[in-house]
Structure 1
Amino acid sequence: MSSDLQSKLDYVNAYRENRLKTAQEILENKSLFEELVSICFLTSDKNNHKACWILEFVCYEELIWLQPHLDFFCKNLKYLKEESSLRPIAKVVQLLVKSHYKKGENSIVLSEDNLQYCIESSFDWLINDCKVATKAYSIRTLFVLGNYYDWIHPELKIILDKDYADHSAAYKAVAREVLKKIK
């Protein structure tokens, strides 16, 4: 039997307004959030990529809602393979990492295991055949993490230098920006 959230996701399409409308419904009904997170990682679900789209928008407003789900979220990052799921989740990972190191009120607290999963997934997305937006979010996430893990910036620099010539202008722009900051 299809849940209320599943029914909503059936009608979501790629139009921004449509995704924002569904995200707003989640923001107005927090009880749907846990199911949304679950569907994001249910790769056999036909709507899992749509759930990822919605999660990204919800996290812009209420990132803190992910706090009780971080172990599940981070542990399952490696199972996502579809590009339409990866891009929004890579963005959420970037938001989580930035929030963790911001250390303010309502900031996210990632465990060492959570951080390791974020590092591993970000490097995987960067070196594998993902689209440029996923790679760009990964580069920026790894840059932030490299300020706290001294081995990350040298590894990131090697990858960016090696792959630079083979990528699009958008990739090169992000790579240049981050390489400048690393040096």
Structure 2
Amino acid sequence: MISLENVLNTINHSREKRKYFAYLILDHPELLPELLTICARVDDEISCRASWGLEFLCKQNLKEVLPYLDQLMVLVPKVHQHPAVRPMAKIFEYLIVAYYQKKNTPVQKFLTESHREKITEICFDWLITDQKVAPKAYAMTSLYLLGKEFDWIHPELKIILENNYHEGSAAYQARSRMILKKLL
């Protein structure tokens, strides 16, 4: 039996280690519930490494996480350490891009309107709270796409981006400009 915690203790932020971990989970999908449980230990450093692995898993095969979306929607609002927030925001971006990109995909079958509303709420929270640039950038992309379905999102997103533009970093400003151009 594989000890997921022992494996996670060897994982660092390197692409090679995260990829190894993602393929371990793909080879042993029965470990995914345990991985989500470790991600939920939001005050523990191991949850950050688990989140990195979960993000890389989603990048490799997003379908694996779809049966666990309800669990993810409960978990993500509790995540507060930046090294874990960033991968969660990226996972949401993967989900939203996949949802709106093609028709009749597994993501469209699993990602309910309730899930999309929850992702909207969480992404707005990331935009208006003290987060680093990456989660904010991923949230902007997700909200822009969600706003194509929910018409109230684009006006709110535009206000936030315009109000925070001058205080944002160069990277924040660059993503804001890109999104604001699309909103005009």
Give the shorter-chain TM-score range: over 0.9
- CA offsets, 1:62-88, max 9 Å, x none? 111111111110122210111000001
The yes-or-no answer on 1:104 pairing with 2:104 is yes
Structure 2 unmatched ranges of 5 or more: none
- CA offsets, 1:13-71, max 9 Å, x none? 12221222222211222111221122212214331010100011100121111111111
Give 1:112 deviation, angstroms.
2.1
Taking structure 2 as the reference length, the TM-score comes to 0.93
Instruction: Answer yes or no: is the 8 Å Cα contact 1:23–1:55 preserved in 2.
Output: yes
**In 1, Cα distance between equivalents of 2:105 and 2:136:** 29
| One-letter identity of the residue aligned with 1:10 | N
**In 1, Cα distance between equivalents of 2:75 and 2:56:** 20
Instruction: Answer yes or no: is the 8 Å Cα contact 1:125–1:134 preserved in 2.
Output: yes
| One-letter identity of the residue aligned with 1:74 | M
| One-letter identity of the residue aligned with 1:106 | P
What is the match of residue 128 of structure 2? 127
**In 2, Cα distance between equivalents of 1:16 and 1:154:** 37
What is the match of residue 113 of structure 1? 114
| One-letter identity of the residue aligned with 1:81 | H
| Aligned-pair identity (%) | 40
Which aligned pairs between 1:31-180 and structure 2 lie closer than 5 A? 31-101=30-100, 102-108=102-108, 109-180=110-181
Instruction: Answer yes or no: is the 8 Å Cα contact 1:40–1:48 preserved in 2.
Output: yes
Instruction: Answer yes or no: is the 8 Å Cα contact 2:161–2:176 preserved in 1.
Output: yes
C-alpha RMSD over aligned residues: 1.4
Instruction: Answer yes or no: is the 8 Å Cα contact 1:75–1:114 preserved in 2.
Output: no
Structure 1 unmatched ranges of 5 or more: none
Q: Name the SS for the 2:38 alignment partner.
A: helix
Instruction: Answer yes or no: is the 8 Å Cα contact 1:53–1:88 preserved in 2.
Output: yes
Give 1:139 deviation, angstroms.
0.5
Give 1:100 deviation, angstroms.
2.0
Instruction: Answer yes or no: is the 8 Å Cα contact 2:99–2:105 preserved in 1.
Output: no
- CA offsets, 1:109-140, max 9 Å, x none? 21222112101110001111100011000000
Size of the alignment, in residue pairs? 181
| One-letter identity of the residue aligned with 2:7 | K
Give 1:8 deviation, angstroms.
0.3
Instruction: Answer yes or no: is the 8 Å Cα contact 1:75–1:117 preserved in 2.
Output: no
